[in-house]
Structure 1
Amino acid sequence: MGSFLAAAVQLTSTPDPDANFASAEEQIELAARRGAELVGLPENFAFMGEDEQRLELAPFLAERCSSFLVTMARRYQVTLLGGGFPVPAEPGQTFNRAELVGTEGQLLARYDKIHLFDVDLPDGNTYRESATVQPGDHLPPVVDVPGLGRIGLSICYDVRFPELYRHLAQAGADVLFVPAAFTAFTGKDHWQVLLQARAIENTAYVVAPAQTGQHYGRRQSHGHALVIDPWGTVLADAGVSVSAAIAPIDPGHAQRVRAQMPSLRHRRPALF
């Protein structure tokens, strides 16, 4: 298997789904034109707005997001991750779901976010994701995609739970997807260092699509969609604009890093 280009798309999603889908398609097309074969959209790519509106739109968004991913993957001949969109769950709640779709429109993997962001930040913002989001009850999958290797899924706040990524690494993941809508306040200190840690400790590539800028009210995201190699080197950074971080994924490089730093083989889990 040779190297290929991966794109971590960066968006400023709003409460307007039509505008969000149009912006997402524009970035998918641009990434495909640059040669990307693996493309990831961020968490909340189709909608960033108040919880009440999200709950109202959830049945429509769930259907449209899945259909959009199939259409885009086929149209631009990319393997495409929709990094998180609402799907109806219990009354008054949704799942936050990621779907990975192949170039023929086939569903390759699905994951409902299990770690929910319930935090009071010093900047005055309070987040209670669990108030309207139901956590998934299955660990994220690793899927073998011909020509692209083994890809593991996660979503945003998951990045603070290293045991989840160790599960993905033990399942053979070569590429770790971390689509996110990381807050501006936490992102400036934690986003890049957490992603680099997940790459280094699992000797895997990290592809991290992101939200950026002002979405609605006081909701602001950090940006800096990243592609990071297994040594922890940042290969591409989208900055704070609507764009994409695009960089090569080289399986040979990953094998060399794992040979030089065989920490996964040195684990002694029986002691823990």
Structure 2
Amino acid sequence: MARAALLQMTSGIDPEANASAIVAAIREAGAGGAQMLFTPEMSGLIDRKRERAAAKIVSEAEDRVLAAAREAASREGIWVHLGSLAVRPCEAGADAEASSGGRYANRAFVIDATGDIRARYDKIHMFDVDLAGGESWRESSAYAPGERTVTVETPLGLLGLAICYDVRFPALFEALGRARCDVIAIPAAFTVPTGKAHWHLLQRARAVEASAFVLSAAQVGTHEDGRETYGHSLAVDPWGDVLLDLGGERAGLGFVDLDHARIADVRAQLPSLANRRAIAK
């Protein structure tokens, strides 16, 4: 049995305030017996005013939210999955920055209990949509997409990484299923209209497809920049049963115990991973 903690946030425009909330959650998660804490997409900064946000988006080496999370993880002896931060890609060199067209990375980090970064994942699918209610988003104008799947061994087992809009693209989760992930993280800042329609449906479907636990820490409520997010941070078991739902009203921390025997049981009852066949095109 392993214990995870999910942090539901209402991140704002001040990275220092967001870092303080994450550090407090790391402390509380450790005290509650969690081996790993999960935070939402854009944990460090949510600001749709790009000129204002630009001054606060820096490289990994300069990012105070990342540094604070690493320090707290080491101090509390707990692993941390930062759902994502907006970072400048310059730490990878001038060639990488040029190839991104000056855009940022929407990047997840897995930090171990000594504060070391064990894995990074750049969101692959960009949220470029025009919703019926009038909301319009063009994530690709500010962020360069990632290009590869990422898995990493953690105290919860093999963890596969995804971010928010990725949940709508089955090929990514087929790849994570083939990797035999025990847990898949899908941190998010889902809009309210799409959340009401599809959030629970998609999270449960991905858990069933991969016969794995899905842990989805989410942003919630009305943010300082005026946007609204759906919340309902979820833990879903490999059968699709919801083990934890933090609701859509407020920020907070929740705990869930993961029984890894459940993975083997589900895969024995319904061996879809073993039965999968390549389909001719």
TM-score normalised by length of structure 1: 0.94
Give the corresponding residue for 2:104.
94
Shift in Å at residue 84 of structure 1?
A: 0.9
Shift in Å at residue 117 of structure 1?
A: 0.3
SS in 2 for 1:93: coil
Percent identity among equivalent residues? 39
SS in 2 for 1:59: coil
1:232 aligns with 2:232: no
Residues 16-65 of structure 1: CA distance to partner in whole angstroms, max 9, x if unpaired? 11211112222222222221111111011110112222322111676223
- Cα RMSD of the aligned pairs, angstroms, is 1.5
1:265 paired residue among 261, 264, 274: 274
Give the corresponding residue for 1:82.
82
Give the corresponding residue for 2:263.
254
Amino acid at match of 1:51: R
- In the alignment, structure 2 segments of 5+ residues that lack a partner are 90-99
SS in 2 for 1:36: coil
Give the distance between the partners of 2:78 and 2:241, measured in 1 at CA.
25
SS in 2 for 1:67: helix
Give the distance between the partners of 1:148 and 1:182, measured in 2 at CA.
25
Contact kept in structure 2, 1:94 and 1:134, CA below 8 Å: yes
Contact kept in structure 2, 1:227 and 1:246, CA below 8 Å: no
SS in 2 for 1:206: strand
Give the distance between the partners of 1:122 and 1:218, measured in 2 at CA.
18
Give the distance between the partners of 2:21 and 2:175, measured in 1 at CA.
34
Give the corresponding residue for 2:34.
36
Give the corresponding residue for 1:206.
214
Residues 213-257 of structure 1: CA distance to partner in whole angstroms, max 9, x if unpaired? 011344100001011100101101111321123211111111111
Give the distance between the partners of 1:271 and 1:35, measured in 2 at CA.
48
Q: Evaluate the alpha carbon distance shift between residue 60 and residue 88 of structure 1 in structure 2; reply closer, same or farther with a 3 A threshold.
A: closer
Give the distance between the partners of 2:126 and 2:207, measured in 1 at CA.
22
Contact kept in structure 1, 2:19 and 2:64, CA below 8 Å: no
Give the distance between the partners of 2:16 and 2:31, measured in 1 at CA.
23
Give the distance between the partners of 1:271 and 1:39, measured in 2 at CA.
41
Contact kept in structure 2, 1:7 and 1:36, CA below 8 Å: yes
Q: Write out aligned runs for 1:54-203 (5 A).
A: 54-59=53-58, 63-89=63-89, 90=100, 92-137=102-147, 139-145=148-154, 147-203=155-211
SS in 2 for 1:216: coil
Amino acid at match of 1:111: Y
Give the distance between the partners of 2:274 and 2:217, measured in 1 at CA.
29
SS in 2 for 1:58: coil
Single out whichever of 163-172 and 190-199 deviates more from structure 2.
163-172
Amino acid at match of 2:137: Y
Give the corresponding residue for 2:97.
none
- In the alignment, structure 1 segments of 5+ residues that lack a partner are none
Give the distance between the partners of 1:88 and 1:66, measured in 2 at CA.
13
Amino acid at match of 1:66: L
Give the distance between the partners of 2:225 and 2:24, measured in 1 at CA.
25
Amino acid at match of 1:199: A
Q: Evaluate the alpha carbon distance shift between residue 268 and residue 91 of structure 1 in structure 2; reply closer, same or farther with a 3 A threshold.
A: closer
Give the distance between the partners of 1:71 and 1:104, measured in 2 at CA.
8
Shift in Å at residue 171 of structure 1?
A: 1.2
SS in 2 for 1:144: strand
